[in-house]
């Protein structure tokens, strides 16, 4: 069991590393790319669309093939979300995520990848993101946002 756990963590690290390299090569760690994509009526930058198309294509080609297997390579079973309802907490969280993304130009993945630049902006974003996660955990215990 412990060996499977380590393989799972090493696989996650490897996939995260590949994701980080892809973000860096595509320029998606640069907030101006994201803000430019969201600026529909100004200096619109469509490059994020090509990154999305690449991700969707890889997912489309591999998902059906990999789901034919009884279990993932490094886990005993598939972990597929089953909830489909749209809740106020989901809407509120999505709005907050979008506001943070649009204002800072960082999404969590690119922000964490950008920590390697030693720039203070992604460090501030990641620190703020972690603080928000901690505050939500406290609020969730008090208000029972999730079931």
- The verdict on pTM exceeding 0.75 is no
The domain locations on the chain are: 2-141
Contacts of 133 (CB under 8 A, 6+ apart): none
Given a cut of 60, is residue 109 above it in pLDDT? yes
Query: Buried b vs exposed e over 104-125: b needs ≥16 C-beta within 10 Å?
Result: bbbbeebbbbbeeeeeeebeeb
pLDDT value of position 147: 55
What is the spatial distance between Cα 102 and Cα 86, in angstroms, rounded to a whole number? Answer: 22
Question: In terms of Cα–Cα distance, which of 87, 110, 88, 89 is closest to 100?
Answer: 110
Lowest mean pLDDT among 1-10, 14-23, 37-46, 120-129: 1-10
Given a cut of 90, is residue 139 above it in pLDDT? no
Given a cut of 60, is residue 107 above it in pLDDT? yes
CB 115 within 8 A of CB 125: no
């Amino acid at each position: 069991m412990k060996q499977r756990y380590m393989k799972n963590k090493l696989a996650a690290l490897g996939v995260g590393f590949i994701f980080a390299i892809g973000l860096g090569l595509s320029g998606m760690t640069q907030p101006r790319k994201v803000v430019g994509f969201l600026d529909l009526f100004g200096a619109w930058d469509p490059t994020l669309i090509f990154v999305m198309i690449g991700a969707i294509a890889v997912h489309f080609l591999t998902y059906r093939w990999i789901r034919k297997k009884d279990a993932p390579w490094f886990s005993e079973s598939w972990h597929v979300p089953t909830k489909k309802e749209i809740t106020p907490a989901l809407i509120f969280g999505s709005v907050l995520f979008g506001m943070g993304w649009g204002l800072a130009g960082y999404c969590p993945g690119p922000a964490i990848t950008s920590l390697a630049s030693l720039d203070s902006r992604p460090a501030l974003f990641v620190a703020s993101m972690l603080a928000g996660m901690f505050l939500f955990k406290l609020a969730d215990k008090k208000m029972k946002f999730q079931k």
